[in-house]
Chains A and B, each alone.
Chain A
Amino acid sequence: MPTSQISTLERTSGWAKFGRYSLLTLIAVIVLLPVYAVVMQAFKTGAGAMDHPRSLLPVDLTTETIRVAWTKGDMGTLMRNSLVMSVLVTIGVLATSLLSAYAFAFLEFPFKRTLFALFLATMLVPAEVTILINKRTIDSFGWKNSMTGLTVPLMATALGTFLIRQVFLQVPSELREAAALDGLGHGRFLYEVAAPLSRPTLGALGLLSFLTTWNQYLWPQTIIDDTEHRTLQIGLSRLSNADINRLNLVTAGTVIAAIPIVILLIVFQRQLVRGLTAGAVKG
């Protein structure tokens, strides 16, 4: 932003600038220090990681620990499982939310108000209540230790419906009337008009779903017992059970685990902000 357009209020003078930069740097260091310490330990040998305070210096680095963590922790399988689970749930949430949001926004049917209230009410039920029973339900279906059991219950959320309905309500009625005149049925209207118009919200919702599912901890821990379907978050906790001498394996594991999300968030920054603020600014 060119200096001329910054108001007098916001222009910072020389010393204030220096002060501000110093403050920013100090805070950045504090925020990043835990990450730095852990990343350092991930690139050291077991002995090096325990040799404090030298362990914090970028010397004697090795990629050995990362390699061991990858194989010992079977992180390829873990990542794949988490990825598949997150993608499936995101698709499921988007699909079901699009459909029900469309119904609530564009269709007329009895008990619409009540049904929508019920939808919203489900957002008040915490996971602690549902997981207890869902695990028994899934078990009785024979879906334990399967991707189906892992993903299907996570698709049950009304947040998507709520958000997309908001956007759909903004669609001008002239557009609807024109489409009806052109003979567009509901399906084509949804696919060719409504959905494309709400693409930013869909992107944000998709990213939010992906992130939330990727970070799931209690649900995968509850219904997965085998090693083939373990997700990344649970696999990480397994690494932490290892010997006290090999604690740096845990740090290596967390570094590996965090990288995909860091990349994802850098690429989808704008969707991220939109997704997070979806409820914040004047709901």
Chain B
Amino acid sequence: MKRRWRDAPTALMMLAPSLALLGLFVFYPLVRAIWLGQQACDNTGNACHSVGWSQYIDVYRSNEFQNALGNTFTFAAITVPLGIILGVGLAIVADKHLRGIGVFRTIFSSTIASSVAVASLIWFVLLNPQLGALANVFDGIFPVLKRPGLLNDGGTALPAVALSSVWAGLGFTFVIVTAALQSIPRDLYESAFVDGAGSWRRFTNVTLPMLSPTLLFIGVVITARAFQAYGEVDLLTQGGPNAAGRPTETIAYFIYGKTSRISNQLGLQSASAVLLFIILLVLSFIQFRVLERRVHYAN
């Protein structure tokens, strides 16, 4: 008993900075946002009055939120599988002892150097219908590139934004999968080879299972990123095109974007943010519990 309390003062001192920071900048905001979610405030975020907890249901069922939710899920549905497949593909292609393989590995991981802003602006310039290189070189094959432009066409806008995100994430997934590949014991491959397994069989029976924890991790990270996609939208489309029902407005942009319908309504923004939190919780829960059963762990 006394032993447990002996370190308490020291512990308190050492924990104080983190506790203060986390309390003030994570816990307090969460509690406050939950409270604000049932309030309606004026356009400066003051003079709030309660309108009941049903506001959460109203926000959830509103067509703007559903639109944002759908867009975000679509965005994730594009970026997660593509990100994993491309990352694994690249890592496998580069997983050979060849001369100069280091150069290729560096090139494949290079997109790690791009921030959301850099990556989005690169694609903004490339896809610009008047001036972008892509639009002007390939518009013979794909007229939508110039009229009205990938980012301005209701059907292609969200995939185009997702594309920039997938490209930006290539380096990250490549580095992680490469590291994981290199930790797979070579003798597993050897014994599979001896058993007569061809390269595809070796991939499915050895590589994939051994990679599965890594793939789960990457999946979780890319999903979280997809659900927090803001910068890409802010730089590329600002949630538009409006005439097509705002197909690129993700939930994060719905809450914080300057062109969002609720850009000056603190109560609605809070409710939306808390709903996003709940959705992310459920998603993480599902990903870990449901998928983890299929993940193979050595020994």
Chain A residues near B (Cβ < 8 Å):
1, 6-12, 17, 20-21, 23-24, 27-28, 31-32, 34-35, 37-38, 40-41, 49-50, 52-53, 55-56, 95-97, 99-100, 102-103, 107-110, 112, 115, 119, 122, 124-134, 136-137, 152-153, 155-156, 158, 161, 186, 214-215, 217-218, 221-222, 232-234, 236-237, 240, 244, 247-248, 250-251, 253-254, 257-258, 261-262, 265-266, 272-273, 276-277, 279-283
Contact = CB atoms under 8 A, between A and B. Distances in A.
A255 to B, nearest CB: 9
A57 to B, nearest CB: 11
B130 A280 contact: no
Interface in B115-132: 115-118, 121-126, 128, 130-131
A130 to B, nearest CB: 4
B29 interface: yes
B175 A53 contact: no
Given A34-B122, A52-B137, A258-B114, A280 B218 contact: yes
B135 to A, nearest CB: 8
A1 B97 contact: yes
Given A31-B111, A152-B21, A280-B180, A103 B15 contact: yes
Interface string B7-42: 110111011011101101111111011001000000
Given A103-B11, A115-B15, A129-B33, A240 B235 contact: yes
Grouping DSSP codes into helix (H, G, I), strand (E, B) and loop, the A interface class, with mixed when no group exceeds half, is: helix
Interface string B49-63: 000000000000000
Which of B121, B252, B256 has the largest number of chain A CB atoms within 10 A?
Answer: B121
15 contacts: A9-B189, A12-B98, A31-B110, A31-B167, A103-B14, A107-B14, A124-B284, A125-B26, A133-B28, A137-B25, A156-B26, A254-B117, A254-B121, A265-B113, A280-B179
B45 interface: yes
Closest CB pairs A-B (n = 7): A133-B29, A52-B136, A215-B115, A156-B21, A107-B7, A217-B231, A156-B25
